[in-house]
A and B are shown apart, each in its own frame.
Chain A
């Protein structure tokens, strides 16, 4: 062998190997950059938001008197108790926990340490324990959002008093309560059941969770059957001609249309022409299913195409009709791919806000919706609205809403991966 040509080929090899190494290196950099950003995003959101999942409670002592006796509750139903006016009774009892404070303005400040719904919370406690109430009871009621933020360390105490939302006097009372071990944390269950509120300690995700649920159900009901059967027709039954090519191009284009355009469509057609009720999950669901439809059609067509022709030919050979071939043999094999596409499409619809803005679902809605015809918001909308609220306590709630939204998205994607792994047929 010629030593010269060997040398050349060695140098050549070295150069090619170097090129390969460089390429791998760039790849690693790209992936790690992406991972770092994801990591930053997650740590930022989780570190800001986790504190919204627990809440601060303060222990108070309630003494019943002649007018409000523990025995009188025994005969009352829950709704009767809820209708009672215990406002001044509750207020006086809270004052009597702080016997040293006499000035009226100071008393007002004391009340502000507690949630604005202290009366309701006391009633709830009475309702729960109406059969074994003593003359004196100790119970925990929620702290106000400002105290809650201080206790969680989200709100700095070092700034000068005139700039702080909590006065020195209130802080000293709070410290005293902490010293007496009367302040505790608890898992924030109401956060998941209540609707939106302007009192930060009362605001919850319940309304938007239900709203998102209704919206997604409607998206599923509309876009899955239409998408599935549309794809089956286009892939298995329609003739290839200019018209079907035109439809195919348009479906692919539709999948790439910015979501706000679907919002405009919803506003123009669903609200203005059909006069469906504004701000409802029904309209939101229809709008978002228009957005999801092309995704499902494309995924279903791809999985129909991957079913080998031998299956069809086999079925036809034993005398099955075209419909029988498709429905009994091809579609069941393509279904896992179609369902995966549907789940991914729905996950995208779940995180969508822009189209909802135009159909009025970005709104302040307190009542938790009970049907798709009630006004409702959705999870990402709630995060957006809270982010715009001035009070500090909404900061952690915004991040908490995002955590919930992200966990749903991750869950959806995991289900999609699971279905693909489990039911995928390799040919």
Chain B
């Protein structure tokens, strides 16, 4: 049968593809969805300089770390983006799988922005109020109770008189980690809940991070555009994301101020805005040299035309490092100095 012969021949030809050994000449990047917009822009420019354009997956900081630390070799990513610093446990995991030398590159700062629809009236929260609104258990008269607050005004009469509804990032995202440590833990301390749990030691912080599960706090996934859309649908909703999302959507949403301070470039750079955080990525030193272009990619990313004061990354919302910090990072790139792990 003719058809049968053709099929068999194509299958054999196809099977021979498996036999060919596979060498990668393209940088692979995974990690944070907050760093993704910056990394993609750098990657695209880098791709025009003669190297292949790096492939970037947005997996969230936690997911990225898992892939990054899985091992050394062409099947593992070279770089992972992170919107928080690498955790002890992740360094351990990396070491266990042979990823001993990691280079940490801080690319700039970002301010978490709690935003809502343009139609809503301006709002201002401090960390304690946000903690009381979002936590699972809150202290009332010295006793822990399941969060009783349904309206913001029940927490403080100055706050808006409507339902509490906040869209939050999923637990694997670095944005959520940053939010939990900069808002929830600090608010927890301010509300006195942390002290009441103090006998738990380190676990007290974990307790502070637990969000309520009665529908007031809604997990929105890694899709920041979806959050923006949901905020415009209902002016009583709040949601948070990186500063760059605010900048391109200012015709739809506006930021709330945190403890009286609105997010601004200056405030995020000098950390006077209370919920600013550094953005970074991590590089496998073992891959430098075997995958072409990693060093050049690092140089492009840390160049002043990218992450500098007037760079193309700052155009889309990255808040530049101070000059001293930027110089230190550039030196790190030229020496390829790794994270000290004792």
Residues of A whose CB lies within 8 Å of any CB of B are: 155-156, 159, 162-165, 197-199, 218, 221-222, 225, 271, 274-279, 282, 327, 360, 362-367, 372-373, 375, 387-392
CB distance from A122 to the nearest CB of B (A): 16
A-B contact pairs, 19 of them (CB 8 A): A163-B118, A164-B250, A198-B37, A221-B10, A271-B75, A274-B18, A277-B22, A278-B75, A364-B43, A364-B55, A364-B58, A365-B53, A365-B55, A367-B47, A375-B26, A388-B33, A388-B222, A388-B223, A390-B37
**Known contacts A362-B57, A367-B52, A372-B17: A390-B11 contact under CB 8 Å:** no
**Known contacts A282-B17, A363-B56, A375-B55: A390-B249 contact under CB 8 Å:** yes
Task: Choose from B11, B18, B33 the contact partner of A221 (Cβ within 8 Å).
Answer: B11
Q: How far is the CA of A299 from the CA of B41 in the complex (A)?
A: 46
Q: How far is the CA of A358 from the CA of B24 in the complex (A)?
A: 20
Number of A-B residue pairs having CB atoms within 8 Å of each other in the complex: 93
Task: Name the A residues within 8 Å of B56 (CB-CB).
Answer: 363-364
Contact A277 B245 (CB under 8 A): no
CB distance from A48 to the nearest CB of B (A): 13
Interface size on B, residues (CB 8 A): 40
Residues of B whose CB lies within 8 Å of any CB of A are: 1, 7, 10-11, 14, 17-18, 22, 24, 26, 28, 33, 36-37, 40-41, 43-44, 47, 52-53, 55-58, 74-75, 118, 222-226, 228, 244-245, 248-251
CB distance from A65 to the nearest CB of B (A): 26
Task: Name the B residues within 8 Å of A164 (CB-CB).
Answer: 250-251
Q: How far is the CA of A391 from the CA of B26 in the complex (A)?
A: 27
Q: How far is the CA of A363 from the CA of B33 in the complex (A)?
A: 11
**Known contacts A198-B37, A364-B36: A156-B57 contact under CB 8 Å:** no
The list of the 6 closest CB pairs from A to B, nearest first, reads A366-B53, A364-B56, A363-B57, A390-B248, A163-B250, A375-B55
Q: Across the two chains, which residue of chain B brings its CB closest to A277?
A: B22
Q: How far is the CA of A391 from the CA of B37 in the complex (A)?
A: 11
Q: How far is the CA of A222 from the CA of B22 in the complex (A)?
A: 21
Q: How far is the CA of A282 from the CA of B19 in the complex (A)?
A: 13
CB distance from B297 to the nearest CB of A (A): 14
Task: Name the A residues within 8 Å of B22 (CB-CB).
Answer: 275-277, 373
Contact B11 A225 (CB under 8 A): yes
Contact A387 B47 (CB under 8 A): no
Contact B7 A277 (CB under 8 A): no
- Which of B28, B40, B223 has most A Cβ within 10 Å? B40
CB distance from A296 to the nearest CB of B (A): 14
Q: Across the two chains, which residue of chain A brings its CB closest to B45?
A: A198
Task: Choose from B17, B75, B225 the contact partner of A389 (Cβ within 8 Å).
Answer: B225
- Which of A362, A388, A392 has most B Cβ within 10 Å? A388
Contact B47 A366 (CB under 8 A): yes
